[in-house]
């Protein structure tokens, strides 16, 4: 009976969309045609269920905003009609609405903005996947059992009485024969009701099993370390039989890489690495580890499937001191160039910043541009903004790093939150492009930066001998050329607690990493 009364309800989506661990909110900053937008989406806790969507359009020319659910499997030809949003009273830029996601799989929310500049649209990947099942509370279960027993007994009694006393004429007494008949019919009714409950339980179990088959399970991941030529090699094996618009071997590049692997030391996150394993076969990837210190590590692997469904796979492993030459029980010695190291691989040893400023080994100053007394609250969209200068105070020019001005990782110290951020927010560009391929209309996409637009050396901006009096002229030139020494990441912290934020950029052809700590507080009641 307990199994029958389990009520399937989904918990908040845990592993979803562009490196989400414990961070269900989807934040996107980009454009829909001519209209700049900042979008926040809270996926539904049940599927079918409604996604809560807010769209801030930073353009007074916008009049209306519509939302449409588009699935990768069906495209927009079979998509339902778009739903209108409502403008928030007192805020002319903010529109809110709800959107039903009716089936499981790789889905998206299409944002359509109409106004004086015409119609613009974009698509935001929002995977609709069941992630958990919750049992009914014991108090409610006991109450329903009692009520069910009352209905069962009462139903059988009513049917029996209707065949006995219910058939008597006024003043007529119930004979022994009619009483026996009444009892027999009541028992028959009980058998029929019991049979109904039995077959109902079978139907419920069938639906429960079907639901469990639909329930999301991340691709399996196994990690193994071997020592080769005084280096540690990490082998990653993916294991999946295929589930809801994905297979383990159907990965597509995101920012030019099939896998983004983030390693974080479990000792307060002192060591951080952003690596890009190389494909050995469809489900196996190898990467040579940098000289990370010994210890236990969290491993977060970001992947994107052909359908646009993106996942973060989680594993743990241990580095046991300095690796030795390959020997018995280990793979044979690495041949020259057999496993090259990706040029974009990097690692960083955390050092405590001085206030809001981190000074790197090469003298670059990284400033987190938030006020000292800034209070960070749960579920409040923030702009995590960083600026970069040389030792003499001159601004540097950020070069494209993996197609973006920068990358950031937000990690909660208890490992319950991990997310890989871009200047466009929390979404994967590869996932957005895959979904957009199923949309007939022209939609605005976030494209990687064209490095030819960032030939900063020809502009003379990297001359170390520039004096500080040239600062305003340099900034003006950077603005005219569309260059920047700042990068920002929109994000809403999902939980209160202690976080570490890593920001990564490329300057003078070198990938640089800085780390900052922040404490997030619960949002105020009301």
- Here the CATH number for the domain that contains residue 61 is 2.60.40.1930
Q: Indicate whether 455 belongs to any domain.
A: no
Q: pLDDT at position 467, please? A: 37
Q: pLDDT at position 338, please? A: 59
Instruction: Mark residue 475 as left, alpha or beta (left: phi above 0; alpha: psi -120 to 50; beta: remaining).
Output: alpha
Joined tokens for residue 423: 């200047």
Are the beta carbons of 35 and 59 closer than 8 angstroms? yes
Q: pLDDT at position 17, please? A: 38
Are the beta carbons of 245 and 303 closer than 8 angstroms? no
Please indicate, yes or no, whether residues 209 and 147 belong to a single structural domain of this protein.
Answer: yes
Q: pLDDT at position 337, please? A: 46
Q: pLDDT at position 374, please? A: 86
Q: pLDDT at position 325, please? A: 42
Please indicate, yes or no, whether residues 77 and 97 belong to a single structural domain of this protein.
Answer: yes
Joined tokens for residue 19: 């490196």
Please indicate, yes or no, whether residues 149 and 92 belong to a single structural domain of this protein.
Answer: no
Partners of 228 in the β-ladder = 231
Query: How many structural domains is the chain composed of?
Result: 4
Domain boundary among 293, 318, 343: 343
Domain boundary among 343, 377, 404: 343
What is the Cα Rg of the chain in Å? Answer: 30
User: For the chain, which ranges sit under pLDDT 70?
Assistant: 1-19, 130-134, 322-339, 448-482, 525-526
Please indicate, yes or no, whether residues 329 and 380 belong to a single structural domain of this protein.
Answer: no
Instruction: Mark residue 512 as left, alpha or beta (left: phi above 0; alpha: psi -120 to 50; beta: remaining).
Output: beta
Backbone angles phi, psi at 209, to 5 degrees: -65, -40
Return the biggest CA–CA distance within the chain. 116
Q: pLDDT at position 210, please? A: 76
Q: pLDDT at position 208, please? A: 79
Helix (H, G, I), strand (E, B) or coil at 68: strand
SS (H, E, C) 366-403: EEECCCCCCCEECCCEEEEEEEEECCCCCECCCECECC
Structural domain boundaries enclosing 226: 219-343
Q: Indicate whether 10 belongs to any domain.
A: no
Distance from C-alpha of 43 to C-alpha of 19, rounded to nearest angstrom:
15
Binning the chain into helix, strand and coil, the percentages to the nearest 5 are 20, 40, 45
Q: pLDDT at position 469, please? A: 47
Q: pLDDT at position 341, please? A: 83
Q: pLDDT at position 460, please? A: 47
Residues 6+ apart with CB under 8 A from 506: 398, 399, 400, 401, 512
* pTM of this prediction exceeds 0.75: yes
Please indicate, yes or no, whether residues 190 and 238 belong to a single structural domain of this protein.
Answer: no
Please indicate, yes or no, whether residues 382 and 519 belong to a single structural domain of this protein.
Answer: yes
Q: pLDDT at position 18, please? A: 38
Please indicate, yes or no, whether residues 435 and 479 belong to a single structural domain of this protein.
Answer: yes
Residues 6+ apart with CB under 8 A from 160: 182, 183, 185, 186, 187, 189
Q: Indicate whether 252 belongs to any domain.
A: yes
Q: pLDDT at position 376, please? A: 93
Partners of 499 in the β-ladder = 412, 518
Q: Indicate whether 247 belongs to any domain.
A: yes
Domain boundary among 80, 97, 125: 125
């Amino acid at each position: 009976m307990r199994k029958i009364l389990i009520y399937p309800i989904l918990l908040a989506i845990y592993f979803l969309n562009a490196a989400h661990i414990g961070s269900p909110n989807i934040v996107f900053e980009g454009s829909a045609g001519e209209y700049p937008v900042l979008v926040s989406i809270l996926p539904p806790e049940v599927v079918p269920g409604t996604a809560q969507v807010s769209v801030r359009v930073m353009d007074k020319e916008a009049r209306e905003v519509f939302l449409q659910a588009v699935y990768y499997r069906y495209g927009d030809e079979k998509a339902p009609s778009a739903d209108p949003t409502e403008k928030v009273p007192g805020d002319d830029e903010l529109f809110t609405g709800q959107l039903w996601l009716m089936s499981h799989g790789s889905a998206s929310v299409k944002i359509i903005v109409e106004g004086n500049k015409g119609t613009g649209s974009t698509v935001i990947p929002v995977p609709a996947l069941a992630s958990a099942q919750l049992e009914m509370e014991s108090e409610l279960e006991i109450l329903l059992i009692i009520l069910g027993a009352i209905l069962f007994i009462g139903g059988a009694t009513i049917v029996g009485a209707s065949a006995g006393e219910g058939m008597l004429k006024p003043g007529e007494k119930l004979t022994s024969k009619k009483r026996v008949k009444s009892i027999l019919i009541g028992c028959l009714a009980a058998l029929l009701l019991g049979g109904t409950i039995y077959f109902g339980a079978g139907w419920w179990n069938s639906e429960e099993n079907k639901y469990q088959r639909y329930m999301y399970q991340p691709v399996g991941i196994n990690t193994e370390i071997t020592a080769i030529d005084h280096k540690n090699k990490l082998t990653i094996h993916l294991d999946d039989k295929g589930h809801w618009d994905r297979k383990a071997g159907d990965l597509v590049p995101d920012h030019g890489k099939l896998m983004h692997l983030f390693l974080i030391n479990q000792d307060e996150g002192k060591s951080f690495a952003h690596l890009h394993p190389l494909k050995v076969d469809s489900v196996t990837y190898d990467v040579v580890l940098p000289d990370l210190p010994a210890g236990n590590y969290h491993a977060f692997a970001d992947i994107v499937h052909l359908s646009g469904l993106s996942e973060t796979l989680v594993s743990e492993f241990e580095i046991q001191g300095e690796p030795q030459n390959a020997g018995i029980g280990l793979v044979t010695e690495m041949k020259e160039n057999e496993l090259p190291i990706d040029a974009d691989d990097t690692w960083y040893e955390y050092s405590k910043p001085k206030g809001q400023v981190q000074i790197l080994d090469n003298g670059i100053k990284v400033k987190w541009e938030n006020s000292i007394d800034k209070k960070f609250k749960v579920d409040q969209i923030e702009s995590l903004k960083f600026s970069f200068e040389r030792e003499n105070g001159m601004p540097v020019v950020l070069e494209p790093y993996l197609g973006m001005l920068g990358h950031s990782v937000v990690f909660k110290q208890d490992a319950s939150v991990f997310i890989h951020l871009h200047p466009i927010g929390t979404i994967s560009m590869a996932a957005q492009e895959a979904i957009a391929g199923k949309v007939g209309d022209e939609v605005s996409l976030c494209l990687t930066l064209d490095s030819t637009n960032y030939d900063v050396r020809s502009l003379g901006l990297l001359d170390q001998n520039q004096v500080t009096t040239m600062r305003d002229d340099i900034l003006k030139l950077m603005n005219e050329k569309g260059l920047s020494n700042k990068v920002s990441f929109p994000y809403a912290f999902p939980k209160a607690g202690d976080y570490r934020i890593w920001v990564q950029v490329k300057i003078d052809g070198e990938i640089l990493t800085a780390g900052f700590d922040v404490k997030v507080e619960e949002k105020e009641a009301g």
